[in-house]
Structure 1
Amino acid sequence: MQKEKKTHWFRKIENMHPYRTLMYLGMFGSGLLFFFLTTAFVLSQPESGVFERSTFPKSFIMSSLLIVVSSYTSGKILPSFRLHELDKTKNFLLFTFLLGLLFSGFQFLGWKELSTMGIDFRGIPSGSFLYVLSGIHLFHLGGALIYALVLVIQVEKSGKDPVKSLILLTNPYEHMKLDLFAVYWKFMDAVWLILFVLFLWMF
């Protein structure tokens, strides 16, 4: 029975589309990177409240609210596509993209708040980790933002042509692209929320 289960999972992985495999491997690698960096961050100061004399950046709080909302909009992309509602698909993609841009803007404002409080790369090691962790996350999110914009343009163009719309809606590859985007976006949402909780613990 156990051998059958192992064979089933092996075949499932073996039959996975190369793009899906690459994305999952990339997510696994990114997860390891964040894990090691967050571990180093915690070990750089064994106690919580390292920045207790400072106020937690309000911009980070706002960006966290935005990323939570974007998790909802990204979750609506695929269901809309499955219902052949291209307008809604495009709108949810666009909303997710715009929320991602706003999130990025508030991240920069958060760094400015940290700098104003005297927390920078030249200070205590934990201070530099705040910039490194949030910066690497923003870099990863940047790739998703570019991809989201490409998908918005593609859906917009296809929606104007009945033939292209039909091809888009019936092509499994197009379905997979939206699915991979939604999965990756939720992954990045989860990573930031974990970092956010960790940052709160340090203040």
Structure 2
Amino acid sequence: MNPATKQKGTPLSTWQRIERAHPHRVILTLFMVGSFLIFLFLMLALYFSYDPRGNYSLFLPKSFLASTALLMSSGFVFDRSLRWLKQERFDKLLYTLLYTALLAVLFVILQVAGWSQLHGSGIFLNGKASGAYLYLITGLHLIHLAMAIAWLGHTLFTVWPAAKDPVKQLIISTNPYQEIKLRMLISFWHFLSIVWVLLYLFFLYLF
């Protein structure tokens, strides 16, 4: 058997995959790991600072349930964009990106509405620690999502001119880095969706 053939069929180890990964993908992975640890620390801080037996109780705004459904739906929609890029269907790719951006904006609106409900119930950012942590955790997630939306906006400005320009479509479709960037953005988007679902379940359990 040819050694080269044997080596080609051998699955790569974890370290070999890391070595072959694009540097930007490695940086994004490290960023997501660091962000997850920060969220985990804040969740623990909220857990130990919250006392449901006192006269100060937190609640979960109803708008957070709707925002959870929107963010999860946006992830399913966003997955299709990679297929449209590979098939060079830039019209469908553009619509998919626009629809994902719309769902993300609606998520932001619902999050702000949830904060308004908390504020109206006497739970303030500068109040007790447990209420402050609730604002801090959801606000930090919203900042991460704002970064993803800005990244999505940059992708839209790249795809939009190419939707009706065959030359620009050819340039984008033949550039492997464009696919890498889209894969990275989708991975980051799913990361934020998973983190939010975990946060929502944690809030449900705690409150």
TM-score normalised by structure 1 residue count: 0.89
For residues 49-64 of structure 1, the aligned pairs below 5 Å read 56-64=60-68
Distance 1:50 1:84 in 2: 59
Q: CA deviation at 1:108?
A: 0.7
1:40 to 40, 45, 59: 45
The percentage of counterpart residues that share the same residue type is 36
1:33-90 deviation line (CA, Å, top 9, x unaligned) = 111111111121366x889966531211121111111111111111221122111111
Asked if 1:197 is matched to 2:192, the reply is no
Larger Rg: 2
2:51/2:57 contact within 8 Å kept: no
2:67/2:106 contact within 8 Å kept: yes
1:14 aligns with: 19
Q: CA deviation at 1:124?
A: 3.0
1:69-115 deviation line (CA, Å, top 9, x unaligned) = 11111111112211221111111111111111110111111000001
Q: CA deviation at 1:9?
A: 2.1
Q: CA deviation at 1:123?
A: 3.5
Which sections of structure 1, spanning at least 5 residues, go unmatched?
Answer: none
1:100 aligns with: 104
2:32 aligns with: 27
- In the superposition, relative to structure 1, how do residues 88 and 192 fare at CA in structure 2: closer, same or farther (>3 Å)? same
- In the superposition, relative to structure 1, how do residues 7 and 92 fare at CA in structure 2: closer, same or farther (>3 Å)? closer
Q: CA deviation at 1:138?
A: 0.3
2:74/2:100 contact within 8 Å kept: yes
Aligned length, in residue pairs: 198
1:79 aligns with: 83
Distance 2:54 2:100 in 1: 34
- In the superposition, relative to structure 1, how do residues 44 and 14 fare at CA in structure 2: closer, same or farther (>3 Å)? same
Q: CA deviation at 1:183?
A: 0.5
Q: CA RMSD in A?
A: 2.2
1:81/1:89 contact within 8 Å kept: yes
Distance 2:166 2:71 in 1: 34
Q: CA deviation at 1:122?
A: 3.9
For residues 120-159 of structure 1, the aligned pairs below 5 Å read 120-159=124-163
2:119 aligns with: 115
Distance 1:108 1:138 in 2: 10
SS at match of 2:124: coil
2:94/2:163 contact within 8 Å kept: no
1:56/1:200 contact within 8 Å kept: yes
SS at match of 1:76: helix
